[in-house]
């Protein structure tokens, strides 16, 4: 594989974009109230893309010689310690404290990429899900596909269904799968474009594990909205997202078999889209109980900064300089019985 440096140039172009003041003003008001003093350091990171970091998730299906030694030479190290409750041997992620981005690899039909560039915090929902070989797994809102790829670095599900309702994002998902997963495994997967809110009725009690990486107000990208009018529209529609997230969760719970577990995640700091949605589910669904993920949180506390005061079944990764991962909210639930 030849490394393409073009994405580097794209990144530099993004750094020159202006912060959208209307979004920043909105966040300033909301997150100062919700996060208190922690918002000051989070804001400094979110508004400074030049300090953002990128991790590399290695692809176990395409291991190029010399990649890991090259990463070590550039200051990268394995991201997760062996003390985690769930960390399959094939799951290998590299990070470094310094900001900047390792060159991306071009999509080439018929050739698998060796690594996936991502925010290291986005791997935590996958580690929390604890997928085992042979289980039936649903990634309900799967695009662009990084978490689907990560799940397959952990285990080989007996049945793996990746769903993405949005047409453009669905094509992105399909290309990601083509770039990282061998044909023999792709043939065992199902990729669909269904409305996630209807999934539970279409396939009730079918899956052992469900990931709901829900559509959310993406704090990082919204701060650099190029079109102020679009930003205002997004902020107006933001109130509707928690309703969509709740409906997706209800559907995911229906799709879970009794005893199965679910992980909910977003890449926003917003309480309305995070703990409020989970609390609403716990209060309205009698057959769901929270699952303690504090042991995982302790195991990765050297790598990530978490908001204090959250419940044991949830965590919120706060970006800070040198550990500029997140925002990422994660909550885990278990289905105790049929509805």
Annotated catalytic sites, by residue? Answer: 267
Q: pLDDT, tens digit, for every residue of 160-219?
A: 999 999 999 999 999 999 999 999 999 889 999 999 999 999 999 999 999 999 999 999
**Binding site listing for S-adenosyl-L-methionine:** 141-147, 164, 195, 213
Per-chain mean pLDDT for the chain = 92
Q: pLDDT, tens digit, for every residue of 25-43?
A: 999 999 999 999 999 999 9
**Is residue 11 domain-resident?**
no
**Is residue 78 domain-resident?**
no
**Is residue 114 domain-resident?**
no
Number of domains in the chain: 1
**Is residue 98 domain-resident?**
no
Residues spanned by the domain of 131: 21-52+120-335
pLDDT in the model for residue 339:
65
**CATH code of the domain in which 29 resides:** 3.40.50.150
pLDDT in the model for residue 264:
98
Helix and strand tally (H, E) in the chain?
A: 13, 12
**Is residue 91 domain-resident?**
no
**Is residue 60 domain-resident?**
no
Q: What is the mean pLDDT of residues 265-288?
A: 97
Considering the chain, what percentage of its residues have pLDDT values greater than 70? 95
CA distance 7 to 182: 24
Prediction pTM value: 0.94
**Is residue 77 domain-resident?**
no
**Is residue 308 domain-resident?**
yes
Contact 189, 160 (CB under 8 A): yes
**Binding site listing:** 141-147, 164, 195, 213
Residue-wise burial string across 206-237, b where 16 or more C-beta atoms lie within 10 A, e elsewhere:
bbbbbbbbbbbbebbebbbbeeeeebeebbee
Confidence of residue 143 (pLDDT cuts 50, 70, 90): very high
């Amino acid at each position: 594989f030849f490394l393409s440096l073009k994405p580097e140039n794209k990144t530099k172009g993004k750094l020159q974009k202006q912060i959208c003041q209307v979004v920043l003003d909105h966040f300033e008001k909301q997150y100062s109230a919700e996060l208190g003093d922690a918002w000051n350091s989070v804001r400094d990171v979110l508004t400074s893309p030049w300090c953002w970091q990128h991790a590399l998730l290695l692809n176990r299906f395409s291991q190029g010689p010399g990649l890991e030694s090259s990463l070590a030479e550039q200051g990268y190290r394995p991201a997760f310690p062996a003390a985690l409750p769930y960390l399959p041997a094939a799951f290998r992620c590299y990070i470094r404290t310094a900001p900047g981005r390792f060159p991306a690899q071009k999509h080439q039909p018929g050739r698998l990429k060796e690594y996936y560039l991502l925010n290291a915090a986005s791997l935590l929902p996958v580690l929390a899900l604890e997928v085992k070989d042979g289980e039936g797994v649903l990634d309900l809102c799967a695009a662009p596909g990084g978490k689907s790829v990560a799940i397959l670095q952990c285990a080989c599900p007996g049945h793996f269904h990746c769903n993405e309702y949005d047409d453009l994002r669905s094509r992105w998902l399909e290309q990601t799968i083509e770039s990282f997963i061998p044909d023999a495994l792709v043939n065992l997967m199902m990729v669909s474009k269904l409305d996630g809110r209807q999934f539970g009725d279409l396939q009730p009690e079918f899956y052992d594990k469900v990931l709901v990486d829900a559509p959310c107000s993406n704090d990082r990208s919204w701060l650099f909205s190029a079109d102020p009018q679009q930003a205002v529209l997004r902020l107006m529609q933001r109130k509707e997202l928690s309703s969509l997230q709740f409906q997706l969760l209800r559907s995911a719970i229906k799709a879970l078999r009794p005893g199965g577990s679910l992980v909910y995640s977003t890449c926003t700091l917003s309480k309305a889209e995070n703990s409020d949605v989970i609390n609403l589910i716990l209060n309205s669904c009698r057959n769901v109980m929270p699952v303690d993920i504090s042991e995982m949180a302790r195991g990765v506390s050297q790598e990530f900064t978490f908001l204090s005061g959250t419940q044991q079944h949830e965590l919120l990764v706060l970006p800070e300089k040198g550990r500029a991962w997140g925002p990422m909210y994660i909550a885990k639930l278990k289905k105790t019985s049929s509805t």
